[in-house]
Amino acid sequence: MAQGMEWHLAEQPTIACLEAMGYRFVPPEEHAGLRDGENQVLFRPHLVEAIQRINGVSLADAQAAYADLVSITDNEAWLKKLRGDFSRPVQGEATRRTLRVVDFANPANNRLTVTHQFRVKAERTRIPDVVVHLNGIPVVVIECKSPINSKDKTGEAFDQIRQYERDIPRLFLSNVFNLVTDGTNCLYGSTGSPSKFFAAWRDPWPRQEADFTDELSKGLWCLLEPSRLLDLIAHFVVFEKTEEGIVKKMCRYQQFRAVNKIVERVVENRHRRGLVWHTQGSGKSLTMAFAALKLKTHRTVESPELTNPNILVLTDRVDLHTQITTTFIACGLPNPTDIGSIRDLRTLMDGKTDGLMALSTIFKFQGSEEAVANSATWIVMVDEAHRTQEKDLGAFLRKTLPDARFFGFTGTPIKKDDKDTYANFGVVGEGYLDKYGIDDAVADGATVPIYYTGRKTDWHIDEAKIDILFDQWFADLPDDKLAELKKRGVTVADLVKHPRRIALIAYDIWTHFKEYARPDGFKAQIVAFDREAVILYKRALDAVIAADLAAEGMPIEDAQAMAADMSACVYSSSQEDAKPSEDAYTQSIRDGLVAHYLDDKAEIDVKKAFGKKGVRPDFLIVCDKLLTGFDAPVESVMYLDKPLKEHGLLQAIARTNRVADARKRNGLIVDYIGVSAHLDRALASYRADDVRNAMRDLDDLRNQLRAAHAAVLHMMKGVKRAGGRLDKDSLKAEFDQLVARLKPDETQWIEFRKAAREFIGLYEAVSPDPCVLEFTADLKWVALFLQYATQAIEKREAFDQRSYSRKIRDMLERHLDATGLSVTVKLRHITDPEFWEDFKVEGKTEDDLKTAAIRKTTELRKVVYERLGQNAHQYGKFSDRLRELLEKLEGAQLSWADTLSKLQDLAKDLEAEATAHEEAGMSQGAYGILQVLLAFHAGDGADGLAERIAALYEDDATAPRLWQEKEGLRRSLRQQVRGLAHEFGLGNLKEVSEQVEEFALKQFAKV
């Protein structure tokens, strides 16, 4: 078989690298002898032999175990089996026996193989590039794309992985994670992970970067070196239960590194402490969960120090405790106990039982001075460790557990002068046991960078000028009120909560939010000075929004109701709130505090709603709560009107740094109080290196935009552009100049597209800042060119615009219509009557014919792909025809008119196929099943068999509502299909029933 560039640049080096690490290569010609069929993925002899070798059981018992394993249809269940949660009866033993399929303690006792071109037969047969088997079980799929012969160096590989997961799900039942590589870059993601969560493993700890000759060998060693692969499988994959369903999560390199440093420290038993700084948003709670999992199960480590340890996880705030407890329970950690009271904690610790896992707040140790008997067996992990040393809580903790091991975690750096935290958790001279700072997280894409911008400097509060500001702002107060204020002394709070200031800032917030965050469904927090200011902002914002909605034509009552729903207040209550006051203003504020207060359940509901796009509220107005431990990726901007500093500032701004979708490039802090003007002072307690890029000036982003714009213009140098408002033909002529330059060299097209996307993304990030206006004309040209060139060069639809923000998409739509270019780049579906207009060749110039042929090719490619998704057996032939046509087109073997003629034939045949069931007198579902049966050489009478099978899925008695979600019903239907197929005389009954089910899941699903 001829080998392409992908083989030479990516696939072959990957296999060679794995062979050098001890993997045995299995050539494709050996696949048939190792599998039960082309639709099976386990290497049966390897797995049976491993079960015998590792467990010392008979061949018959090993084969029976194999039969159990091959029937597992759930990824989480497979992981449990890989980890040793598998038991069954064996010959000569009265009780069920645990059987291991992996020997974690002795890596050499496992068989690791790598193979390529692993053909898996299904309704849509696929051939993944490289597959790694562990004892005959496929655990890793590697997709290789060469940087020379790939349309998008990473994008196509990700699409391929998703396609495999959809089309050959059996290969991914036991899958642990996937890799994509182009021979240079190497990115990994857990099974089912969206492409945005794929990442590089940057740090090869405990080895050094210099130990590796290239990124590929480093990445493969980090993830697939045998002992590390076993460690990852054993301890670093969890399934977290969320409202949206179960999410599989795998560690990042800093989590793997920190956890193993902790475990090594416990095993060495030399130092009984360590301090870990992993910056906010980088998965600190999950790091603690992985640490607990490895300390408890330690499948790859044998040490007396890990014999049944007790683990205690401590926090100092109820919300953080809830967050970590939820994470531990959701991830299925073994028997986590949530401590409800001081008595519960003491009872648990005095019980002299080992192997416990407890989660508590440090306040449960208040007043505790009696040591527990087995304190040396306790491993204590303390979240936000620096805060637990406040008052006497740290002392009470250590009196209760004098011999315990203590590992402190923090999401913010430790202050320079915080000697207590270093003394209680650090080792002399070490600093941090493990550090993952702000810049690390941004570089890895674990968080987005945070930028700040100051708004309206005359609203900033400078305490040094408080008297001058007071005279300016309160000059119109009645004399008695003025005298009263001066008598008690003017405070910052008086200035911050000035009604006029609040009203102006509320207006500015709404104006900015409408342009910056709202178009893409992002949300915001408003951080007010105190609880009184929360109520003032709520009222002011409601009034501003209602007035704006009413101005747009909404009835005033509806506008007021909608405005009220758009924000929610979150704060702690006070006993004073319900007390009456003779002062009208005070009474008004107290009424507001009572009216807008959320109890625990209501607060939980509001936080959940805030975390979802398209669900109100859009704003959370806070003063103290939700500035730590609150995780909402949908939050892209924080309006800051509270003079935060040090730890409080770092915690608060990090609410905006969570990764969301491609449209969220950064978090933004809009500063009304003046913190950003004195940032060095606000963060002076920290080492400069630790907080250098905690918040970046928006000017940095503006400079990046200018540089990206210059880079794109440099690549367009020589293209003659007329400027001004252009018609369709003029703009198309300009586009064709650049297409002619980029098309012959695919590398140039890839580089241009990359630069253009960077320019567009930075424009989005900076907008609505006025500085973007000078780039708007070029942005429109470049963005539309990407759409046009993707069709002209790649003959496929451009999807870039889907990742643009709403404001950019709307602007481009208007520009498309204004120039008339929408006729050229907008695609029509085959069901659109105007779709057929392009096929008329009379009176068209050669350029018109070319444009029509390119557009039709793109449109039909999309239609064929859609139809393949419906039924590959029915529409596979059209995919082959289109591919042949594209090859002739690229080889200049057809004129544009001939191309259009052949495309018209293809379109007509596609339409005829869509209604073929009517001609056959069958339902669409039965006809689709008939195409599956014909692929298995069903002869005369197959239409009758198809009708009977379709009736099974149509009948509510055999396939009731939601049958597709119930494995028992699906299994029963497959059995009935096999029975009917057997009665008809077909072979390959198992495969027939599976492929019929694949079609039925799309055609007959009932909701």
What is the pLDDT at residue 150?
31
Q: Which of 79-83, 464-468, 755-759 has the highest mean pLDDT?
A: 79-83
CB atoms within 10 A of CB 990: 14
For domain 5-235, the question of CATH label 3.90.1570.50 is answered with: yes
High-pLDDT (> 70) share of the chain, %: 89
Q: Coil, helix or strand for 781?
A: helix
Q: Which amino acid is at 317?
A: R
Beta strands 434-436; 450-454: pairing state: unpaired
Residue of 218, 227, 149 whose CA lies nearest to 187: 218
Least confident window among 428-442, 491-505, 508-522, 637-651: 491-505
The HSE-up count of residue 865 (CA atoms within 13 Å, CB side) is: 10
Beta strands in 282-396 (DSSP E): 310-315, 336-338, 357-361, 378-382
Please give the radius of gyration of the chain, using alpha carbons only, rounded to the nearest integer.
Answer: 32
Is the domain defined by 450-550+557-694 classed in CATH 3.30.460.80?
no
Whether the domain at 251-444 and the domain at 450-550+557-694 fall into the same CATH topology: yes
The Cα–Cα gap between 809 and 477 comes to 49
88 in Cβ contact with 57 (< 8 Å): no
Strand partners, 405: 379
pLDDT tens for 91-125 read: 989 899 999 999 999 999 999 999 999 999 887 78
Q: Comparing C-alpha atoms, which of 702, 621, 647, 637 is closest to residue 671? A: 637
For the chain, counts of helices (H) and of strands (E): 42, 25
Per DSSP (E only), the strands in 170-266 are: 177-181, 186-190, 199-200, 237-242, 245-250
Q: Which residues of 700-713 are buried (b: 16+ CB within 10 A; e: fewer)?
A: ebbebbeebbebbe
CA separation for the pair 68, 597 (Å, rounded): 55
Task: Identify the three-state secondary structure at position 114.
Answer: strand
Instruction: Average the pLDDT over 603-618 and give the result.
Output: 95
Taking the C-alpha atoms of residue 697 and residue 156, their distance in angstroms, rounded to an integer, is 35
CATH architecture of 251-444: 3-Layer(aba) Sandwich (3.40)
Beta bridge partners of 274: 407
Task: For residue 81, give every residue at least 6 positions away whose Cβ sits within 8 Å of its Cβ, in sequence order, or none.
Answer: 69, 72, 101
The Cα 581–Cα 587 span in angstroms is 5
Query: Could you read off the pLDDT of 416-427 as tens digits, one per residue?
Result: 877 778 888 889
pLDDT at 556 over 80: yes
The whole-number pLDDT of residue 151 equals: 31
Domain range annotation of the chain: 5-235, 251-444, 450-550+557-694, 701-825, 833-914, 921-1003
> What are the residues facing 668 on neighbouring strands?
451, 637
**Residue 274: band (very low, low, confident or very high) from pLDDT cuts 50, 70, 90:** very high
Q: What is the DSSP letter of 10?
A: I
Q: Is it the case that residue 142 has pLDDT exceeding 50?
A: yes
- For residue 247, CA distances in Å to 84, 172, 191, 879 come to 22, 15, 10, 34
Q: Residue 835: phi, psi to the nearest 5?
A: -55, -35
pLDDT bucket at 481, cuts 50 / 70 / 90 = low
In the predicted model, is pLDDT for residue 413 greater than 50? yes
pLDDT band of 823, cuts 50, 70, 90: very low
* pLDDT on residue 466: 55
- H or E element in which residue 621 lies: strand 619-622
Three-point CA angle 252, 416, 430, nearest 5°: 55
Query: Three-state SS string across 381-426, please?
Result: EECCHHHHHCCCHHHHHHHHCCCCEEEEEECCCCCCCCHHHHHHHC
Burial class of residue 846 in the structure, from the number of CB atoms within 10 Å of its CB (0-12 exposed, 13-18 middle, 19+ buried): exposed
Q: How far apart are CA 744 and CA 729, in angstroms?
A: 23
pLDDT digit string, tens, across residues 874-928: 777 777 787 777 777 766 777 878 878 888 888 888 888 888 888 889 998 999 8
CA 29 to chain centre: 38
Answer yes or no: are the C-beta atoms of 14 and 142 closer than 8 Å. Answer: yes
289 three-class SS: helix
